Amino acid sequence: MAAATATLEYADRASREMRERAAARNIPTIWDRYEDVQPQCRFGKLGICCRICSMGPCRISLKEGKPPLVGACGADADTIAARNVARMIAAGTAAHSDHGRSIAHTLRLAADTDQADYQIKDEDKLRALARTYGIKTEGREARQIAREVASAALDEFGRQEGEMVMPTTAPAARQRVWKDLGIYPRSIDREVVELMHRTSMGVDADYRNILRHGMRTALADGWGGSMIATELSDILFSTPRPLRSTANLGVLNPRHVNIIVHGHEPTLSDVLAVMSRDAKLLERARERGAEGITVAGICCTANEILMRHGIPIAGNFLQQELAVLTGAIEMMVVDVQCLMPGLSELAKCFHTMLITTSPKARMPGVQHIEFREDKGRAVAREILETAVDNFAHRAAEKVYIPDAKERLVAGFTSESVFRFLGGRYRATYRPLNDGIMTGRLRGAAGVIGCSNPNVDYEKGHIGLVKELLKNDVLVVTTGCDAIACAKHGLMRPEAAFAHAGQGLQEICRAVGIPPVLHLGSCVDNSRILRVLSNVVAEGGLGEDISDLPVAGAAPEWMSEKAVAIGFYFVASGVYTLIGQPLPMMGSENVRRYLTEEIEQEVGGKWAFELDPVEAAHRMIRHIDGKRQALKLKPMMYAQAFKSEG
C-alpha cells in the first residue's frame, strides 16, 4: 500500500494521524484503493470512450492519423466527448434537484399537516419567495402561503409549457443572454430528460449544440433545483446566522456516544441534531455509561446542521473513513450522495453501526432504517436510541481520537453577510461594492467543491485559498472546500491578520468577518449566485455577473455534481477554474469551445490548472482584467502578485 508515501504537506494533524494508523493496521482506505485502480484508462480520462450503444464500446485513437478516428456509427471525438461531459451535467443536476424536490415535498407536508414534525421557521423568507412566484401574501397565513409556494416549487420540476420562474431572480442582462442563446431553462426534469435523449445513440452530433443544452440543464440546477433546496431549507429549518463552532475529528468526545450524520439532505439530520439534546435520551446514554451525546457531521450534511445549529464538523469527504477509524463512533447515519461504498467493509472492523436511511441509497449487508418525512421524529428517535445502546459495544483499546479541532465562524448567507458589512439595520452590498471600487478588495472568489485523492491532501484547497487571501481577494466557500478551510483555521475570526493582504484585513476588521466566508452546503452555491446578483443590483460594477471582478474554483472536484455547478457558473458569466480537466481533453474542439469560444456566448469560461498558486494567479489575472474593463481605481496597497504591466 502506497498511501503513506503521498505528500501530506497540507494535511491537518487529525487526517495525518488517522491515515498513519490505517496504514499501520493494514486497513485499506480511499488512498489505497485509488492506488489500486492505477494506471487509469486514458480513453476514459480524455473522454473519448463511448459505450452508449451495444455496437460499442468504441474508443478513438490517441495516435494522430491512426484509426479509429470515429466510432462504429461515425461519431467522432468531439461528439463523444461532448456527450460524456453533458451526461455528467445531467447526473449532477439530477442529484442536487432531487434533493430540492424532497425539501419541497417536506414543505408541503408541513403546510398540510397539523401535527407535522416540520414547521415554518422563516416566515419572511417564505413571503419573499411567494412574491417571486406571484403568490398573494397579504393577510394570509403562513401555512396557506407555504402550500402554494411548495406547489409552485414542485411545478419547476415538471412544467410542460413555458419556462422556469426561479431564474427570473437573475440580473435582467443575464436572462437576456440565456434567451438569445436559447438556453433559458424550461423545467428541471425536462432539461435532464432532454439531455439524456439528445446524448443517446444517433441524436445530437453537434458538440456545441450538445454543450449548450448542457448549460441549459445546469442552469436548471443552479437557478432551480439547488436554489429551491436552499430557499426551502431556510424556510423549514431557519435561515442561518453567523455562529461559532469547531471542526475536525477532535470534535468527537471519548466519553460520549458519538453519532456521525453523513450525506446531504437536512430533513433527517436536522431532526436528529435537535432530538439528540432530548433529556430522556441523555438519561439513556448515562445509564449505559456515557457522559453525553455528540452529533457531528461529514460532507454537506455537516454544513447544513453546522450552519443552522452550530453542530460541529467531523470532516469532509476524504475523512468519512478516518472518522470510523477512530473506533469511537457508535453510529454513522447516511442518507444520499458522496457515501463511499467502502464504508461497509470498514465499519465491520469496529463496533460502528452503519445505517442507511434513504430508499434511494442502500448498501448490501448494511442495516437500513428507512426515513420518512411523515414520521420524522419517530424514525429519529429509533435511530438515536439504537446508537446510544451501541455504546456498550465500544472496544476501548481500539479508540483513538486525534487531539485536533479548530475554531470557526460559519452561517453566512446572501442576506446576512453584508447586512453586517452595511451596519445593523439594512441589508446592503454598498460596502462590498465600495471596497472593490476603491481598491481595498481586489474582488471575490467562490472556492468550492470536493476533496480528491488525486491531489496531495488538501493542497488544492488550502494552497489556492491562501494565495487568494494574500492578494486581497475575499473568499466565499461551500461544500468540502469549506470544511478544509475550517480545519486550517481560515474561518477563525482573527484569520485575516494571519493570511490576508492589507486591504482585505481592513474590510474584515471593519465588518468583523473572517476572510473566508462559509456559505453552506453544495446546493448553497445558489447563495453565491444570489450574492453575485445582489452585487450587480447594488450598482457601480457593471450590468451583468460577467462584468464583475470575480472568479470561481473547484480545485479538487470529483463528483458529477461539481460538473453541473461549474457549468451553471460558466453559463452565469463566471470564469471557473478546476484542477483536473473535465474528461474531454481528447477532443481539441471541445476543449477550445469550453475554455475559449464559450466566453463569447455567455461571458464565462472554463480553465484547468493543477498547481494551486498558479491557479490563484490565473483567477487574479481574470479579476484584474475585469477591474480594468470597469476602469476601477488601482489597488490601494502593494500587491503580493501583479498580473502584468
Q: Which residues bind ligand NFS (CB under 6 A)?
A: 264, 299-300, 316-317, 338, 449-450, 479-480, 522, 558-559, 561-562
Residue 201's binding partner, choosing from ligand NFS, ligand SF4, none, with beta-carbon cut-off 5 to 8 A by kind? ligand SF4
* Sign of the alpha-carbon dihedral angle for 206, 210, 215, 219: positive
Instruction: Give 258's strand partners.
Output: 294
Query: Which long-range contacts (C-beta less than 8 Å, at least 24 apart) are formed by 21-26?
Result: 21/325, 21/400, 22/321, 22/322, 22/325, 26/1
Size, binding site for ligand SF4 by CB under 6 A: 14
Which residues are CB-neighbours of 468 under 8 A, at least 6 positions away? 445, 447, 475, 616, 619, 620
Ramachandran region, residue 289 (left: φ > 0; alpha: ψ -120 to 50; beta: rest): left
What is the smallest separation between the CB atom of 317 and ligand NFS, expressed in angstroms?
4
What contacts 228, CB < 8 A, 6 or more positions away? 97, 100, 101, 103, 104, 153, 156, 166
Query: How many CA atoms does the CB half-sphere of 251 hold within 13 Å?
Result: 27
Q: How far from 224 is each of 185, 376, 520, 531, 602, CA to CA, in Å?
A: 9, 26, 17, 16, 18
Smallest separation (angstroms) from ligand SF4 to the CB of 69 = 11
In terms of CB distance, is 227 or 338 closer to ligand NFS?
A: 338
- Residue 73 contact, options ligand NFS, ligand SF4, none, Cβ 5-8 Å cut-off depending on partner type: ligand SF4
Q: Which residues contact 283 (CB under 8 A, 6 or more apart)?
A: none
The partner in contact with residue 55, picked from ligand SF4, ligand NFS, none with C-beta cut-offs of 5 to 8 angstroms by kind, is ligand SF4
Task: Give the residue carrying C-alpha cell 488525486.
Answer: 454
77 grid coordinates:
471525438
Which of these, 479, 482, 457, lies nearest to 524 by C-alpha position?
Answer: 479
Min dist CB 217 to ligand NFS, Å, is 17
Task: Tell me which of ligand SF4, ligand NFS, none is bound by residue 13, counting a contact when its beta carbon lies within the kind-specific cut-off of 5 to 8 angstroms.
Answer: none
Kindly give, in sequence order, each residue whose CB lies less than 8 Å from that of residue 4, ignoring residues fewer than 6 positions away.
Answer: 19, 20, 23
In the complex, the smallest distance separating the C-beta of residue 84 from ligand SF4, rounded to whole angstroms, is 10
- Work out how close the CB of 636 gets to ligand NFS at its nearest, in angstroms, rounded to a whole number: 34
Least distance from ligand NFS to the Cβ atom of residue 337, Å: 6
Say which residues have a Cβ less than 8 Å from residue 615's Cβ, sequence separation at least 6.
Answer: 460, 464, 553, 555, 577, 579, 609
Contact 449, 562 (CB under 8 A): yes
- Whichever of 338 and 383 has its CB closer to ligand NFS, that residue is 338
Q: Which is closer to ligand NFS, CB of 228 or CB of 496?
A: 228
398, 327 in Cβ contact below 8 A?
A: yes
Complex with ligand SF4: residue 55 or 640, whichever CB lies closer: 55
Contacted by 52, from ligand SF4, ligand NFS, none: CB < 5 to 8 Å by type: ligand SF4
With beta carbons less than 8 A apart as the criterion, state whether 430 and 538 touch.
yes
CB of residue 361 vs ligand NFS: minimum separation in angstroms? 13
Which CB atom, from 72 or from 629, has the smaller least distance to ligand SF4? 72
Of 211 and 268, the one with the shorter C-beta distance to ligand SF4 is 211
Compute the least distance from the CB of residue 339 to ligand NFS, in Å: 9
Round to whole Å and give the CA distance between 437 and 448.
25
Q: Which of residues 282-301 bind ligand SF4 (CB under 6 A)?
A: none
Closest separation in Å from C-beta 83 to ligand SF4: 8
Rounded least distance, CB 478 to ligand NFS, Å: 8
| Residue 607 contact partner, candidates ligand NFS, ligand SF4, none, CB within 5 to 8 A by sort of partner | none
566 grid coordinates: 461549474
CB of 520 to ligand NFS, least distance (A): 10
196 binds ligand SF4 (CB under 6 A): no
Per CB under 6 A, contacts with ligand SF4 among 38-97 are 50-53, 55-58, 71-73, 75, 80
Peptide bond preceding 634 in cis form (omega within 30 of 0): no
- Least separation, in Å, of the C-beta of 558 and ligand NFS? 6
Q: Which does residue 58 touch among ligand NFS, ligand SF4, none (CB within 5 to 8 A, set by kind)?
A: ligand SF4
Q: Which does 284 bind (CB under 5 to 8 A by kind): ligand SF4, ligand NFS, none?
A: none
Nearer to ligand SF4, 69 or 172 (CB): 69
Which has the closest alpha carbon to 379: 284, 240, 272?
A: 272
Closer to ligand SF4 by Cβ: residue 57 or 365: 57
Nearer to ligand SF4, 201 or 585 (CB): 201
Distance, CA of 403 to CA of 342 (rounded, Å)? 26
From the list ligand SF4, ligand NFS, none, partner contacted by residue 473 (C-beta under 5 to 8 A by kind):
none
Q: Which does 449 bind (CB under 5 to 8 A by kind): ligand NFS, ligand SF4, none?
A: ligand NFS
479 binds, among ligand NFS, ligand SF4, none (CB under 5 to 8 A by kind): ligand NFS
| d(C-alpha 286, C-alpha 292), whole Å | 7
Minimum CB distance to ligand NFS smaller for 75 or for 311: 311
Strand duo 331-334 + 353-356: pairing: parallel
Looking up cell 478588495, which residue turns up?
441
With a CB cutoff of 8 Å and minimum separation 6, the contacts of 405 are 14, 246, 247, 248, 249, 250, 251, 312
Amino acid at 192: V
Say which DSSP state 202 is in. T
Is beta strand 353-356 parallel, antiparallel or unpaired with respect to 292-298? unpaired
Residue 56: contacted member of ligand SF4, ligand NFS, none (CB under 5 to 8 Å, by partner type)? ligand SF4
- 22, interface contact from ligand NFS, ligand SF4, none, CB < 5-8 Å by kind: none
Q: Which does 450 bind (CB under 5 to 8 A by kind): ligand NFS, ligand SF4, none?
A: ligand NFS
What x-and-dash track marks residues 200-229 binding ligand SF4 by CB under 6 A?
-x----------------------------
Minimum CB distance to ligand NFS smaller for 417 or for 480: 480
In angstroms, the Cα distances linking 442 to 239, 246, 473, 627 are: 29, 29, 5, 8
Q: Which is nearer to ligand SF4, 196 or 282 (CB)?
A: 196
Closest distance of CB 264 from ligand NFS, Å? 6
What cell numbers appear for 634 in the block? 488601482
Q: Which is nearer to ligand NFS, 449 or 503 (CB)?
A: 449
Closer Cβ to ligand NFS, 98 or 194, answer by number: 98
Interface residues toward ligand SF4, by CB under 6 A: 50-53, 55-58, 71-73, 75, 80, 201
